[in-house]
């Protein structure tokens, strides 16, 4: 069964949310063990919290840029020859990303 364009939009945002929620502490700790051995457990938690905030901020900034390109430069996303809708819920990519990252459900789509 082929997905419709709205489902493809949701998959796009949810895929980015999934990347944001990955726990990469173990991989980083294994590569830089000598650095992390010097930190207390609290310092380590603070470090990874800060790192995760920066990662999410970077993804957010990229989505702001892509939204601007959609609105100002007519950027379109096409997957499997289907154009993914622009702002199907009346909100920008970065807003939908943050909402889903915070656990919000998808709203009803605006009539197009």
Q: For every one of its 112 residues, what pLDDT tens digit does the chain have, with 9 covering 90 and above?
A: 467 889 999 999 999 998 888 777 776 767 667 778 888 989 988 988 998 899 999 999 999 999 999 999 999 999 999 999 999 999 999 999 999 999 999 998 775 5
Half-sphere exposure of residue 74: CA atoms within 13 angstroms, side-chain side: 0
Check residue 29 and give its pLDDT: 66
Check residue 32 and give its pLDDT: 67
Check residue 13 and give its pLDDT: 94
Q: Which residues of 73-108 are buried (b: 16+ CB within 10 A; e: fewer)?
A: eeeebeeeeeebbeebbeebbbbbbbbbbeeeeeee
Check residue 112 and give its pLDDT: 52
Specify the 3-state DSSP secondary structure of 73. Answer: helix
Check residue 1 and give its pLDDT: 46
Check residue 44 and give its pLDDT: 87
CA distances from 47 to 40, 76, 80 (A): 10, 37, 40
Check residue 21 and give its pLDDT: 82
- Spatial separation of the C-alpha atoms in residues 79 and 81, rounded to whole Å: 5
- Spatial separation of the C-alpha atoms in residues 36 and 30, rounded to whole Å: 9
């Amino acid at each position: 069964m082929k997905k419709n364009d709205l489902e493809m939009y949701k998959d796009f945002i949810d895929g980015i949310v999934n990347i944001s929620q990955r726990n990469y502490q173990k991989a980083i700790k294994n590569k830089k063990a000598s650095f992390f051995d010097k930190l207390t457990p609290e310092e380590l938690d603070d470090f990874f919290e800060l790192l995760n905030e920066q990662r999410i901020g970077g993804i957010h900034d990229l989505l702001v840029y892509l939204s601007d390109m959609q609105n100002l430069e007519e950027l379109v996303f096409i997957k499997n020859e289907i154009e993914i809708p622009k702002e199907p819920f009346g909100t920008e990519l970065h807003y939908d990303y943050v909402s889903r990252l915070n656990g919000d459900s998808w709203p009803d789509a605006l009539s197009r």
